[in-house]
Amino acid sequence: MGENLLWNYSLEVYRKPNVEAELLQLQDRFGADVNVLLSCLWVASQGLELDDNALSELLKISASCQAQCIMPLRSLRRGLKGLAGAEGIREEVKSLELKAEQWQQDLFYQQIKKLSLTTGDGSTTLFALQNLQCYTNHLQGVEWDDLSGIVSDLVSFAFVENNG
């Protein structure tokens, strides 16, 4: 795996106050893929907008990675939580899950570099909201009104240094 600007960005943003909580809330309550959410933010940070076609390409990658690798590892990790003597195994599974997420982001990064994304007139925050709304429109049984507040909070926390 070569340098992946998306992965580097994701690690930086995930560490910001409140970002992890917002991402996990979107994942656990609405079935969102944290890597897709972070990709939407990164693309916006580059001054670019995702359209439905570009997002569909990322969602194909996401579906495969999630079903074949990430979700089974996450399920195993969560199942080991609290089991006596399983802490070491759980940490190893957690490490594998993180490596699987990095692999997924490597695939995303390669795909994003191939896409013809448009630059728009507007702020990074506006691009982020548009990209995230485009993604959340693909979530099954979820209405924008159900999660727009969480998404808005996520964007403000992620771009705390870039607002304005």
Instruction: With 0.85 as the threshold, say if the pTM is over it.
Output: yes
pLDDT at 161: 64
pLDDT at 121: 74
pLDDT at 94: 96
Say how many residues make up the chain: 164
pLDDT at 13: 97
Q: What tens digit of pLDDT does each residue of 131-140 get?
A: 999 999 999 9
- Distance (Å) of CA 129 to CA 6, 48, 50: 18, 12, 11
Walk along the chain (164 residues) in steps of 10 and give the mean pLDDT of each run.
88 96 96 97 94 94 96 96 94 96 96 87 89 93 92 94 48
State which amino acid sits at residue 92. Answer: E
- Distance (Å) of CA 52 to CA 49, 71, 130: 10, 24, 11
Residue 48 has φ and ψ, to the nearest 5°, of: -120, 155
pLDDT at 3: 87
**DSSP SS3 for 26:** helix
pLDDT at 158: 96
